[in-house]
Structures are given as C-alpha cells and as structure tokens.
C-alpha cells in the first residue's frame, strides 16, 4: 500500500508500490487512442511529465489536462506530456477532439491495473487512478512526484514546471 487520499473528503487507500524521487520509473504498456501499445521506453532521452487522473470526463481532470496541454505547447520537443486514466481510449480521443487537445498524449490503463499498481496510484474500492504527477528524466529516473491528497483539487502546476525546467 502506498498511501491514502481523500475524494470529496472521503478517505481511500491506495494500492501499489510506493515510488520516490531517484527511483527508476517502472516501464508500462498503456493503450493509445488508436489502441496501439505505448511504453515509457518509447520516450527514452526525453523528459516526461506523467499526469495520472481519475477520468477526463470530470471537471478537475478536464481542467488539469487542458492546462498541461497548454504548457506542453510551450515546452518543446525535449519534453513529452502524458495523461493517463482508466477511461477507454475512444472516450479519451473524443474528449481530446472536443477540447482541442493536441500537445499531449492521453493513454489508457483500462486493460489491467499494472500501471496503477506499479506507480502506487490505484484507489482501492473505486478502481480508478488517483491524481498524481511524475517528472521522469531522459534516463528514466523519477525526479519529482506530486500526489494530490484531495483528488478533487488540481496539482501545483508551478512545482511540476519548476522540476521540468531544472532538467531542460
């Protein structure tokens, strides 16, 4: 178990591995919007902002993903922004099209819980990802982690961007 969060004030436990800065980021295989497999190793040599959200169809997740899309447009080719949820890839594609999201990539962990478990993100009882952001360097080392303790709140974007700018 990697911790505890709240969702609208209700406490939930998280399942999975507790990661810390300096750890090697676990590789993953997630589904892209076209159902192709995407792995962390696909981004070797690039800084990765890995944003985990419960569902793009909720207000806070929508705001967060739109904000990271905006920031991704400013960061350049050295940085790849990924947003991961358990939404079906078709729903992610529909949401991105409706919101005009083109600067980041949405990925789905709908097939199993390996990503959620390997990153300590699985909300027990809900089978959703908690809200968290990881910054991973080009060699695959975790440089920054932010778990948002109240899932209905947005992350501290400035802290994430500061961590990224230290690596650029």
Catalytic residues: 61
Instruction: Round the CA-based radius of gyration of the chain to a whole number and report it.
Output: 14
Taking a C-beta distance cutoff of 8 angstroms, is the pair 12, 6 a contact? yes
Q: Pinpoint the alpha helices (H) of 10-156.
A: 59-75, 89-99, 114-118
CA distances from 42 to 27, 38, 48, 101, 122 (A): 10, 7, 11, 21, 23
DSSP state of 134: E
CA atoms within 13 A on the CB side of 36: 5
Report the helix count and the strand count for the chain, using DSSP H and E. 4, 11
Q: How far apart are CA 146 and CA 89, in angstroms?
A: 25
Q: How far apart are CA 97 and CA 162, in angstroms?
A: 29
């Amino acid at each position: 178990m990697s911790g505890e969060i709240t969702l609208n004030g209700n406490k939930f436990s998280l399942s999975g591995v507790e990661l810390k800065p300096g750890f090697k980021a676990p590789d993953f295989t997630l589904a892209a919007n076209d159902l192709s497999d995407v792995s962390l190793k696909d981004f070797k040599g690039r800084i990765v902002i890995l944003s985990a959200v419960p569902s793009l169809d909720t207000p806070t997740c929508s705001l967060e993903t739109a904000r990271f899309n905006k920031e991704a447009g400013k960061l350049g080719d050295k940085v790849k922004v990924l947003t991961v949820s358990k939404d079906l890839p078709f729903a992610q594609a529909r949401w991105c099209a409706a919101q005009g999201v083109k600067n980041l990539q949405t990925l789905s962990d709908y097939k199993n819980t390996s990503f959620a478990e390997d990153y300590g993100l699985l909300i027990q009882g809900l089978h959703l990802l908690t809200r968290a952001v990881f910054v991973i360097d080009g060699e695959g080392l975790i440089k920054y982690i932010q778990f948002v303790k109240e899932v209905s709140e947005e992350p501290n974007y400035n802290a994430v961007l500061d961590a990224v700018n230290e690596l650029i």
